[in-house]
Each structure stands twice: as structure tokens, then as C-alpha cells.
């Protein structure tokens, strides 16, 4: 009997496991669960007889793949797959997939939620500002960008997007203005919400020059990856621009520095929680389980992300 292992350092909601387990078992597979592990050794031990693996942001390194000789498929239950060593997956004949879109609404809601929280000074009782009429720039119009835009419309925000991989017509059909360059997006918008993946091209790409183009009172919202920010330049920018605010679902490596220097101009969630809803966990976890079953039963490789 093939074994499907769910290995999540940050566990899914119980509601998700309660749906994933019966889907796996009804299809004739063994279900195994490793949650809240604290040592890589626990993951290495758990994968040793797994035929399929479902993870979240858990690192699937060459070492993990080498400890899993029976592994045929790994599914990142989520969007960003920068935690998977794709080259090692390919070398070992392991198919790697993600579950695009399944947790996107949850991230979108967090973006607007954090924006309101900061615009109202952390609900400290003082006069804040409103989102209505402000310009929101969506940096990469994928699944999350789409939900951010739809929710922001309800707030009466003016919407802009930059995405060289999405046709301008598609962006404009959704009621956003598609701008021609990343520089134009940042110089136009009061808020910019980041939705780019962490790749060799994008890492450290959000730098001083780009952020400095933002209008007075500019706010950057990062629910993407901390690696895309040039952190040293962000700290310099925040020092030079006392009007600038940084909101992030991923505490930066320079968190202590920012906390020490820029009181009340930042907000960081204690743990990445954009996708931390029962609904997103159910959607992504169930999709991952079904993709694995489809792969084993029918050779379905939709959503494969390695070559
Ligand atoms: C994603 O890429 O899907 C999100 O960053 C969610 O990550 P998580 O599953 O670790 O919460």
C-alpha cells in the first residue's frame, strides 16, 4: 500500500486533516502525519518509506529527498515552491507540484486586514486614515493579487497593477490600471502589495531606489517572501523617509533593527499566517491529496513545477 505523508512544521487546521485523511484512505492509500516537528531528523525519519509527501513551507532539500528512496511526488500545499529543491527532485525522479490559488483568498484578506490595522494606528484609539480613494499597486497580478484587488474594490481604493507575465487586457478587464513598469507602479501608489515569487531574479529586488519612488506616506505590504526585500536598503529607506511604513507577514531578518529604530511604522505577524485559515488549509490540503492520487492513478502531472 502506498503511503502519503503530510509533514507540516506549521500544522493544517484540524478541519483540513479531517478531510484529507478519508480522501487518502478511500483511495486505498495509507495516511501518515508528522506535525510540529522541531528537528530535521524527525522529517528525515518520517519520509523514509513515504511514496508521496505533502508539505507547506517545510524545506524539501536534497538531504530530505535522499532520505526518501520511495518518494515519487511532493506537493507543496500552497503557491510558492521556493522551499523545494527542484533540481534535486528532478535528479531523483520526484515530481514536484504546488496547488496554485487554493490559499489565495486567505492571503488577500490578510493584506487588507493588515492595511486597515496600520491605517488605524494599531487600533490604539487615535485618529488614523482611510483606505477609500487611496491608490493600491499590486505587484504581480496572480491568484493572490486578484483577490487583493477584488477585496480592495470594496474599500473604494484606486487599483493599479504591474505584471509583465499577465496580458494588460486581463488586468484592465478586472477594473485595474495596468502600468508599464515597476517604477511607475511604485511612484504612483500610496500602498504597494507584493505578490512576486522568490527567485534568483527577484531576491533583493525591492530596493531603496524603488521604494523611494513611493509618494509621501507610502506603505509597502509584503505577504510574499522576505527574500525579495533588500533589507539593508529597506532600513536605510525607513531612516531617510520617516513617512514610510512597512507591513509584512514575514518578519524580516533585520526585525530587531527595525523594532529598535522605527517605532509604530511597521507591523510583522509573529509567524507567517497569510494562509493560516481553516478554509485555505482545507482547500490546499485536499487539492494536494487529490493531485497525488490523480498522479498515481492516472499519471496526471497538472501543476508539476519541475522540469
Ligand atoms: C504560499 O506560498 O502558499 C504561502 O506563503 C503559504 O505558506 P504556508 O503554507 O507556509 O503558510
CB of residue 100 inside a 6 A radius of ligand 1: no
3-state secondary structure 59-112: CECHHHHHCCCCCCEEEECCCCCCCECHHHHHHCCCEEEECCCCCHHHHHHHHH
Quote the pLDDT of residue 151.
Answer: 98
Asked if residue 131 lies in contact with residue 235, where contact means CB atoms within 8 angstroms, the answer is: no
Quote the pLDDT of residue 250.
Answer: 86
The length of the chain in residues reads 307
CB of residue 269 inside a 6 A radius of ligand 1: no
Among 101, 88, 2, residue whose Cα is nearest residue 50? 2
Instruction: Give the side-chain half-sphere CA count within 13 A for 205.
Output: 18
Measured in Å, residue 148 CA sits from the centre of ligand 1 at: 16
Q: What SS3 state is found at 198?
A: coil
Measured in Å, residue 143 CA sits from the centre of ligand 1 at: 13
Instruction: Provide the whole-model pTM.
Output: 0.97
CB of residue 98 inside a 6 A radius of ligand 1: no
Tell me which residue has its CA closest to atom 5 in ligand 1: 80
Asked if residue 189 lies in contact with residue 214, where contact means CB atoms within 8 angstroms, the answer is: yes
Q: Which helix (H) or strand (E) holds 184?
A: helix 182-188
C-alpha span between 187 and 304 (Å, rounded): 36
Q: Give just the sign of the alpha carbon dihedral 243, 244, 249, 251.
A: negative
What are the pLDDT digits (tens) for 39-51? 999 999 999 999 9
Asked if residue 79 lies in contact with residue 144, where contact means CB atoms within 8 angstroms, the answer is: yes
- Taken in order of first residue, the domains within the chain and their CATH numbers are 3-102+277-298 (3.40.50.720), 104-268 (3.40.50.720)
Quote the pLDDT of residue 184.
Answer: 98
What are the pLDDT digits (tens) for 106-116? 999 999 999 99
Quote the pLDDT of residue 255.
Answer: 97
C-alpha span between 186 and 31 (Å, rounded): 47
Residue 275, phi then psi, degrees to nearest 5:
-95, 15
Quote the pLDDT of residue 105.
Answer: 98
Low-confidence ranges of the chain (pLDDT < 50): none
C-alpha span between 185 and 178 (Å, rounded): 9
- State the closest ligand 1 atom to the C-alpha of 58, by its place in the atom list counted from 1: 10
Pairing of strands 177-178, 158-162: parallel
Measured in Å, residue 240 CA sits from the centre of ligand 1 at: 32
Residue with cell 502600468: 179
Asked if residue 61 lies in contact with residue 88, where contact means CB atoms within 8 angstroms, the answer is: yes
Measured in Å, residue 133 CA sits from the centre of ligand 1 at: 30
Q: Give just the sign of the alpha carbon dihedral 4, 88, 141, 166.
A: negative
Among 280, 225, 250, residue whose Cα is nearest residue 12? 280
Amino acid at each position: 500500500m502506498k503511503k502519503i505523508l503530510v509533514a507540516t512544521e506549521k500544522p493544517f487546521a484540524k478541519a483540513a486533516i479531517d478531510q484529507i485523511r478519508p480522501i487518502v484512505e478511500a483511495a486505498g492509500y495509507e495516511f501518515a502525519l508528522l506535525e510540529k516537528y522541531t528537528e530535521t531528523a524527525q522529517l528525515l525519519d518520517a519520509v523514509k518509506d513515504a511514496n508521496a509527501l505533502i508539505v507547506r513551507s517545510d524545506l524539501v532539500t536534497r538531504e530530505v529527498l535522499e532520505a526518501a528512496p520511495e518518494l515519487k511526488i511532493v506537493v507543496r500545499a500552497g503557491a510558492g515552491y521556493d522551499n523545494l529543491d527542484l533540481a534535486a527532485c528532478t535528479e531523483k525522479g520526484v515530481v514536484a507540484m504546488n496547488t496554485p490559488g487554493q490559499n489565495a483568498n486567505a492571503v488577500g484578506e490578510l493584506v487588507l486586514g493588515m492595511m486597515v490595522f496600520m491605517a488605524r494606528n494599531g487600533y490604539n484609539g487615535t485618529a488614523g486614515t482611510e483606505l477609500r480613494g487611496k491608490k493600491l499597486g499590486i505587484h504581480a497580478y496572480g491568484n493572490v493579487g486578484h483577490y487583493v484587488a477584488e477585496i480592495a474594490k470594496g474599500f473604494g481604493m484606486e487599483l493599479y497593477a504591474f505584471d509583465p507575465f499577465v496580458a494588460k487586457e486581463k488586468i484592465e478587464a478586472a477594473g485595474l490600471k495596468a502600468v508599464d513598469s515597476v517604477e511607475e507602479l511604485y511612484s504612483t501608489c500610496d500602498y504597494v502589495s507584493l505578490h512576486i515569487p522568490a527567485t534568483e531574479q527577484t531576491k533583493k529586488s525591492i530596493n531603496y531606489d524603488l521604494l523611494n519612488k513611493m509618494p509621501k506616506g507610502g506603505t509597502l505590504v509584503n505577504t510574499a517572501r522576505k527574500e525579495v526585500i533588500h533589507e539593508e536598503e529597506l532600513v536605510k529607506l525607513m531612516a531617510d523617509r520617516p513617512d514610510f511604513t512597512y507591513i509584512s507577514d514575514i518578519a524580516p531578518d533585520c526585525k530587531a533593527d527595525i523594532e529598535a529604530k522605527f517605532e509604530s511604522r511597521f507591523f510583522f505577524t509573529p509567524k507567517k499566517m497569510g494562509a493560516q485559515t481553516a478554509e485555505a488549509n482545507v482547500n490546499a490540503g485536499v487539492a494536494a491529496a487529490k493531485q497525488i492520487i490523480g498522479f498515481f492513478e492516472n499519471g496526471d502531472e497538472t501543476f508539476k513545477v519541475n522540469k
